[in-house]
Structure formats: C-alpha cells, structure tokens
C-alpha cells in the first residue's frame, strides 16, 4: 500500500467514524471506540481486549473492557448508522436481504445465551452462543446490517442467571424466526432498498415468516425441508420431494447460482409454478436444486414474487443466500466478529456491532459489480395444476 493509498484508506475510515462519533457522548469513550475500530481492522491475530489494547498502545485491557461493559453508549443507534452507511455505499433497488445465524463456541455457562445447542458453524451441537443476523447484498457488495443474540428458554426462565449476565427484564424468549422478522421489520421501516428476502429452511419453513414477507410486498426465495407440504388445490397436499418425482427430464436446467471461490456454482434446477392464490401480478413457485454429481442430493425452495420473474432470477436469488456465509467468514477472519471475551448481554451487542461496522468499511472499500443472470419465464398456468418450466 502506497502512502497515498494509506491516506485515502484512513480518510474513508475517518468519514465512517464521524458518522457514529456522536453516539459516544464523552471524549474518552469516543477515543476508545475509534481505537477499538482501528484494532478490529488491524493485522492483529486475536481481536480481544488484550490484543486490541496492545495495538492501541495501552498497558492493559481495562480501557477496551470499559468500552464494552460500562461506558454509556447505544449499540442500536450505532447499528442504525451502520445500516445507513451500507445503504449509501452498497444500496441498489434490486437489493436482497439475507437472514441466517452463526454460532460462537464458548466455554462455561455464564456468557449470555450460552448453552449446548446446534451450531451451523461447527455443524454439530456445541456449547455456544447463537446470533441471528441480516445481511444486505446487491450488485455493489454485501455486508451485515443487523444482529440479535438468541436466548434459549433455559435463560429466559431463569431471572437470576439473566441478571448476572445483565439481560434486561424486558427481554423475553423469542424464536429465531420471530427475531428475524423483528430485524426485517426495522430494516424495511428504515427504507433500505430491497426487493427480495432469502433465508435457509429454519426460517423459510415457517409460514409466518413467509407471510410477513408477502404482507410487506417483498419477494422471497427461501429454503424449505424436503418434507414441506405443498398444496395442490383439488389434488390435495403432497410433500416437496414427492412432487419433484413428477418433473419431466426436460424440466431440469443446468444453471449457475453465482460465482464461488472455484468459479460458477453449477447445479441442475427445476421450477414449478404453484396453483396458489396470490396478489394480482404475483406468483408462487417451488424451486428445486439438484447436485450434478449426486442426483439424490436436492434442496427445495418456496419462492414468491412478480409473475414475470425469470427462472434465472429465482436461481440467482437462491444463490445469494451464500453471501451471508461469506460475510460471516470475512467478519470472523478480518474484523474479529467471534474474537470477543465478554459475558454481558449488552457487551455482546457492542462488540458485534463494532465488528460489523469494521466489516462494512471493508465491504464498501472493496465493492464490485458481479455478473447478472438472465432468463425468461413462461406464461401463467391453470390454477388447478402444477406447471413445470420446460
């Protein structure tokens, strides 16, 4: 990096911090927050209190710990500033909102929300915390814009344990889809430009989550389990994996769900318009993804959107769910999303928000324009039968 590059990089960072500086009412927490942000962006191996303090030239971690545990500042207000920054730098009318969760493996039982539970990050049951996140993705780039810490019932039903972790009395148990809907509600209320929502089957399999998207005029492509019931009007209901057995060979199209680390992510896809009542001008579909090398490996999606939406666009939206996985990996690797050593509920939100802010700066700096997919979609079928795209 040249001296001019460094000056440009620092000027951009100064502009970002100026947007949030007012959230830290006094000089000391403001200086600490800037040093913390710089440390998260620095080539520090473990971005915890000790190493961030060392990067800032401090003798010990007390100052960084005070920033997370005791100084007065509102992490949700900083989140709002972060969201506005992402919209300014990456916003696009065709943006996609992505919901997913990630695990943070922890020792002991005192960190807010920790218990033995499934971690998709580890792919098994671990002693961990689970955070539910919303990411924003467009042709210009992608970044995390909201977060919630999942609290299992083992926590919300234990007032003493909650008090020890500084969890407010107002916080009650909420399922992950409920938390996701709350985040999407405030995201849309803030005017974030987006037309689509995508999520894995933990959210897509919840009809209330899908209904939320439809009520807010949002298209979606969400994963559902293979056992998902698909209503076919007079024909009754059938499982998604049974329905796909009726697809003719010509229904399968080899298409890319977007570029991955090794090039285009190619799969075979089939698409059926479903005979369900919808708002005028809209349609619902069953989208199926099949491995090219292992034909018995399939993934199923429900989709909803404007009737003229192309097959290729639905495949593209389905593929964009991986963008949040890339955000998690980058934020954990580059900005220490999972490097924290805090137990308090509010401290978790503070570290996570600052790590997201640092990641958003990297995303805005590196924003590029990915290739778009094109395609066409057939005319509407009769309501009484499924119509496969062939």
pLDDT value at residue 378: 28
Residues 123 and 17 in one domain: no
Helix (H) or strand (E) holding 305: strand 298-306
Residues 162 and 233 in one domain: yes
pTM confidence score = 0.91
Residues 8 and 129 in one domain: no
Residue 293 belongs to domain spanning: 74-388
Q: How many domains does the chain have?
A: 2
**What span, in angstroms and rounded, lies between the C-alpha atoms of 137 and 321?**
9
pLDDT value at residue 1: 64
pLDDT tens, position by position, for the chain (390 residues)? 678 878 888 899 999 999 999 999 899 999 999 999 999 999 988 998 889 999 889 988 999 999 999 999 999 999 999 999 999 999 999 999 999 999 999 999 999 999 999 987 778 899 999 999 999 999 999 999 999 999 999 999 999 999 999 999 999 999 999 999 999 999 999 999 999 999 999 999 999 999 999 999 999 999 999 999 998 766 778 899 999 998 999 999 999 988 877 788 899 999 999 887 778 889 999 999 999 999 899 999 999 999 999 999 999 999 999 999 999 999 999 999 999 999 999 999 999 999 999 999 999 998 832 333 323 322 233 344 566 676
Which CA distances in Å does 167 have to 109, 151, 311, 345?
14, 10, 46, 6
pLDDT value at residue 371: 35
pLDDT value at residue 370: 34
pLDDT value at residue 385: 54
pLDDT value at residue 372: 35
Long-range contacts, stretch 75-81, CB < 8 angstroms, 24+ apart: 75/346, 75/349, 75/350, 75/353, 76/349, 77/23, 78/20, 78/23, 78/353, 78/354, 78/357, 79/145, 79/146, 79/147, 79/353, 79/356, 80/190, 81/19, 81/20, 81/23
Domain boundary among 73, 95, 115: 73
Residues 375 and 254 in one domain: yes
Give yes or no for a contact between 267 and 289, defined as CB atoms under 8 angstroms apart.
yes
pLDDT value at residue 121: 76
pLDDT value at residue 382: 37
**What span, in angstroms and rounded, lies between the C-alpha atoms of 85 and 11?**
15
Residues 86 and 69 in one domain: no
Half-sphere exposure of 306 (CA within 13 A, CB side): 8
Give yes or no for a contact between 232 and 275, defined as CB atoms under 8 angstroms apart.
yes
Provide the 8-state DSSP code for 42: S
pLDDT value at residue 7: 86
Residues 31 and 119 in one domain: no
CATH for 231: 3.90.350.10
Domain boundary among 73, 96, 122: 73
Helices 62-69, 27-41: crossing angle, 10 deg rounding: 110
Residues 126 and 186 in one domain: yes
Residues 90 and 27 in one domain: no
Residues 49 and 107 in one domain: no
Other beta carbons within 10 Å of 10: 11
Domain boundary among 73, 104, 128: 73
pLDDT value at residue 15: 95
**Which backbone phi and psi does 250 adopt, to 5 degrees?**
-70, -15
Residues 345 and 356 in one domain: yes
Residues 193 and 293 in one domain: yes
Residues 301 and 161 in one domain: yes
pLDDT value at residue 388: 64
């Amino acid at each position: 990096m040249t001296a001019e590059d460094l000056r440009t990089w620092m000027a951009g960072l100064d502009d970002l911090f100026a947007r949030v500086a007012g959230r830290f009412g006094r000089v000391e927490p403001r200086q600490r927050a800037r040093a913390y942000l710089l440390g998260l962006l620095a080539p520090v191996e473990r971005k915890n209190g000790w190493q961030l303090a060392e990067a800032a030239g401090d003798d010990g971690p007390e100052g960084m710990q005070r920033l997370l545990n005791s100084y007065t500042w509102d992490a949700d207000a900083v989140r709002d500033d972060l969201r506005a920054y992402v919209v300014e730098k990456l916003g696009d009318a065709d943006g996609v909102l992505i919901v997913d969760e990630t695990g943070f493996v922890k020792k002991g039982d005192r960190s807010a929300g920790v218990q033995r539970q499934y971690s998709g990050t580890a792919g098994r049951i671990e002693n961990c915390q689970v955070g539910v996140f919303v990411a924003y993705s467009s042709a210009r780039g992608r970044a995390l814009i909201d977060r919630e810490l999942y609290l299992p019932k083992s926590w919300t039903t234990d007032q003493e344990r909650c008090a020890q972790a500084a969890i407010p009395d107002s916080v009650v148990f909420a399922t992950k889809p409920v938390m996701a809907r709350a985040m999407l509600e405030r995201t849309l209320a803030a005017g974030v430009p987006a037309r689509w929502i995508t999520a894995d089957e933990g959210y897509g399999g919840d009809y209330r989550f899908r209904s939320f998207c439809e009520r807010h005029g949002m298209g979606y492509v969400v994963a559902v389990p293979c056992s998902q019931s698909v209503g076919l009007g007079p024909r009754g209901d059938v499982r998604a994996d049974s329905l796909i057995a009726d697809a003719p060979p010509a229904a399968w199209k080899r298409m890319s769900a977007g570029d991955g680390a090794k090039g285009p992510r190619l799969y075979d896809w089939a698409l059926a318009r479903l005979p369900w009542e919808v708002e005028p001008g809209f349609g619902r579909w069953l989208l199926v993804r099949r491995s090219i090398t292992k034909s018995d490996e399939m993934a199923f999606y429900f989709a909803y959107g404007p009737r003229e939406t192309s097959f290729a666009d639905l495949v593209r939206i389905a593929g964009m769910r991986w963008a949040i996985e890339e955000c998690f990996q980058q934020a954990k690797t580059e900005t220490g999303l999972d490097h924290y050593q805090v137990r308090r509920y509010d401290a978790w939100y503070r570290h996570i928000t600052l790590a997201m802010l640092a990641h958003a700066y990297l995303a805005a700096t590196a924003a590029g324009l990915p290739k778009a997919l094109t395609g066409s979609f057939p005319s509407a079928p009769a309501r009484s039968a499924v119509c496969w795209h062939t």
